[in-house]
Structure 1
Amino acid sequence: MELDVTAALADARTEYDKMVAGDWYRYRFGPELADLTTATQRTCRRITALYDEDRDAALALFRELLGTVGEGVDFRPPLYLDYGHRLHVGDRTFVNADFLTLGGGEIRIGADVLIGPSVRIYTPTHVLDPALRPQGWERVSPVTIEDGVWLGGSVVVCPGVTIGARSVIGAGSVVTKDVPPDVVAAGNPARVIRPLQD
């Protein structure tokens, strides 16, 4: 969907409402967006500060921050989130240190997922027109990581991607399109290398 600037500017919804709907919005023009990300990032810093002294309190704060958190979820700080309530994490998933989610697109991570250190999940896409880009137009696309996936260290997952159940994404890969279940994928851009089991 291409940006129709006239229609987008005439849209009376808040920038947040446009974002949640997956429509074009101006991320620098919605004060509610800045307030949400500032509050979320402040909570992320509190979680990191608490973790060494009171792990249970850090986990409780983590649960409050996210949209949903399954049973037995474990994580290592620091973590960096833009909109915590747009992130959903399934049972027994492990999130390693330096995890970052960017943008307001919904992110659903299934059960028994292993997330390596320094993984990045991006949901926003900016307008391509170089004359419009400085105006701050973007839209978000959801990301889905299905049950049992393993994301190696420093993996980048791009907007709109679904990674199928049990698949493994090699360290340092950039996932730009959907990955089917039960495969090993790696590279930049990531491509399927082989089935998970021959």
Structure 2
Amino acid sequence: MTQTNQEKMHNGGLYQPSDPEIAKQQQQCLELLYDYNQSRPTETTKRQKLLAKMFAEIGPDCYLEPPFHANFGGYHVHFGDHVYANFNLTLVDDTHIYVGSRTMFGPNVTIATAGHPILPELRRQDYQYNMPVHIGNNCWFGAGVIVLPGITIGNNVVIGAGSIVTKDLPDNVVAVGNPCHILRPVNEHDREYYFKNRKIDWDNL
């Protein structure tokens, strides 16, 4: 049975994103994204209403600092609650991106689901494929992190600034580098120090 380009978008098949139906839907999504990025800092209610329209799912108390960029304006994005994104979060949401609650994105983070074949003749015909990205709860992505298509990241993961995530990451690790690798687990040291030699003053938190 022949699959449509819309179906192939979400099952990892090769498809042509120039399909008129896809292009029409994408343009409608980008109109909402434009409105969001043109909103004023005081228009918090307007922003929340726009996000509810733009995203596939979005929980309460999420905040995305404009400018926010997304291929489909968040239409294929699923956020839990209390997700925070600093300037220039880029979501290549040609298929689904799942982000758990209380995850934070530093400035200039990119989460990509789309890829293109290495074979030149397929690229000349504008073929593309998409693989979903899954991100757990309570993660922190440093500035400039890039996550490639098809990646799964566990809960409580910290990814260092500038890292390029090419492989899955388990729960409760600190990961850095290009390609991104596990530096160490989240451990007892992190219960005592929050930055270099600065101790956590638990009595005053």
Structure exhibiting the larger radius of gyration computed from Cα positions: 2
Aligned to 2:60: 71
Matched-pair contact (CA < 8 Å) for 1:26–1:136:
yes
Aligned to 1:140: 130
Aligned to 2:89: 99
Query: SS of 2:91's equivalent?
Result: strand
Whole-Å separation in 1 of the counterparts to 2:169 and 2:9: 25
Q: How does 1:22-101 map to 2 (within 5 A)?
A: 22-28=12-18, 30-83=19-72, 84-101=74-91
Query: SS of 2:175's equivalent?
Result: strand
Aligned to 2:162: 172
User: Where does the alignment leave 5 or more consecutive residues of structure 1 unmatched?
Assistant: 1-10
Could you list the per-position Cα deviations for residues 131-165 of structure 1 after superposition, in whole angstroms to 9, with x for gaps in the alignment? 22111112111101100110111110000001110
Matched, 1:122 2:112: yes
Aligned to 2:193: none
Q: RMSD of the alignment, in Å?
A: 1.4
Could you list the per-position Cα deviations for residues 30-56 of structure 1 after superposition, in whole angstroms to 9, with x for gaps in the alignment? 112222222222211211212324121
Aligned to 1:156: 146
Q: CA deviation at 1:88?
A: 0.5
Q: How many equivalent pairs are there? A: 187
Whole-Å separation in 2 of the counterparts to 1:45 and 1:63: 15
Matched-pair contact (CA < 8 Å) for 2:110–2:147:
yes
Matched-pair contact (CA < 8 Å) for 2:76–2:93:
no
Q: How many percent identity over aligned positions?
A: 32
Query: SS of 2:69's equivalent?
Result: strand
Q: CA deviation at 1:22?
A: 2.3
Query: SS of 1:147's equivalent?
Result: coil
Q: How does 1:13-24 map to 2 (within 5 A)?
A: 13-24=3-14
Whole-Å separation in 1 of the counterparts to 2:169 and 2:100: 15
Which range is displaced more, 35-44 or 156-165? 35-44
Query: SS of 1:131's equivalent?
Result: helix
Matched-pair contact (CA < 8 Å) for 1:19–1:25:
yes
Matched-pair contact (CA < 8 Å) for 2:10–2:131:
no
Structure 1 residues 110 and 103 mapped into 2: Cα distance closer, same or farther (>3 Å)?
A: closer
Whole-Å separation in 1 of the counterparts to 2:29 and 2:178: 30
Q: CA deviation at 1:98?
A: 0.6
Query: SS of 2:155's equivalent?
Result: coil
Matched-pair contact (CA < 8 Å) for 1:22–1:105:
no
Whole-Å separation in 2 of the counterparts to 1:95 and 1:27: 27
Matched-pair contact (CA < 8 Å) for 2:175–2:184:
yes
Q: Which amino acid in 2 is paired with 1:189?
A: P
Aligned to 1:194: 184
Whole-Å separation in 1 of the counterparts to 2:52 and 2:93: 19
Which range is displaced more, 60-69 or 124-133? 124-133
- TM-score, normalised with respect to structure 1: 0.89
Whole-Å separation in 2 of the counterparts to 1:197 and 1:39: 46
